Amino acid sequence: MQYKQLKYEDVCLLPNYSECYYRSDCATLTNICGKEFKLPIIPANMKSVISMDTARWMSENDYFYIMHRFDNTLAETVTIMNEQSWENISVSVGVKIEDKRDILNLSKYKSRIDFLTVDIAHGHCDRMKSMLKHIKKYMPNTKVIAGNVATTTAVQDLARWGADIVKVGIGQGSPCTTKDKTGFTLPMFSCVLDCANAYASYLDEELIAPENNNLPVPIIADGGIKCNGDIAKAIVAGADLVMAGGMFAACIDSPAASSTVNDIPHKAYFGSASAENKGHSNHVEGKLTNICSNNMTYKQKLGEIKQDLQSSISYAGGEDLSAFKNVDYRRVS
């Protein structure tokens, strides 16, 4: 029997008894591979969402970020970050020969990369396997995020190949047309539920410490976030981190181009597989969408997310993000 696959909007969360006195006392801190950050949210590593200036500000203010790979080469971006001694260096890479060459050269120069995201549309593939093993060989101290995938088997395989964190979500972002062009997708709440059940016991022994052998593989839920409450829903479903694009592209200081439509400020939000990002029309699986500006800066938006997550934690009946582990949900459609 095939059950209905659920989007975030298809479920509601049920509140628990709470002893929280002030919502502002609830902690939203998250630990990623031994580093602590203020929120479990990540702006999408897309050209219309994050810039080097924004990434540096987030690094300086203890927010997690992933810089996209479309303006400069990996070597150029990492060199700048190292020369400027960024607190946290988190960048993206593809799976081409030139990407492998960059990894090799950066390792020779002993360049620091704290987090490296191998970022491709269909992450459960042979080229991903080859790239992950290449990174682990030449940059063993770098924490690797890999994606995107949408199945338990894929999460297990990517972790077995060397990924420390796996990014899940296929075709669910608002500027993505993969689901329409190819038919392949999975609504995000169900996708996260499925992928959060992948355990590290499936890993090759040489790639994981024995004490971590029975821990779930950490996952990032990427796509489908329409409002701040969806972040809580993603964590309830099992996500360790949540990636969102549109809500950050809509910020007044985002790199997305500004325009005015019917006297209302808008931002031009486009996906990584769009013609606007690729510069050509081959194998396009994304589109440009003019979205209303939220009239907030990145700093203000992150502050709003923190307050809303604190409220969510209070409804969950706890004091920090761990409270979401004990939250039940119901279908609403």
Residues carrying an active site annotation: 176
C-alpha 64/C-alpha 127 separation (Å) is 27
CB neighbour burial string for 46-83, b if at least 16 within 10 angstroms, e if fewer: bbbbbbbebbbbbbeeebbbbbbbeeeebbebbeebbe
Contacts 24+ apart (CB under 8 A), 255-260: 255/47, 255/48, 255/49, 255/50, 255/51, 255/54, 256/48, 256/49, 257/48, 258/293, 259/290
State the DSSP string of 118-171: EE-SS-SSHHHHHHHHHHHHH-TTSEEEEEEE-SHHHHHHHHHHT-SEEEE-SS
CA 145 to each of CA 44, 70, 229, 267, 275: distance values in angstroms, whole numbers, following the listed order? 13, 17, 25, 28, 25
Token pair for 252: 């007044």
DSSP code of residue 67: B
**How far are the Cα atoms of 36, 303, 328 from residue 39, in angstroms, in the given order?**
9, 10, 22
* Nearest residue to 251 via CA among 15, 121, 57, 118: 57
Q: Whose structure tokens read 């995938």?
A: 149
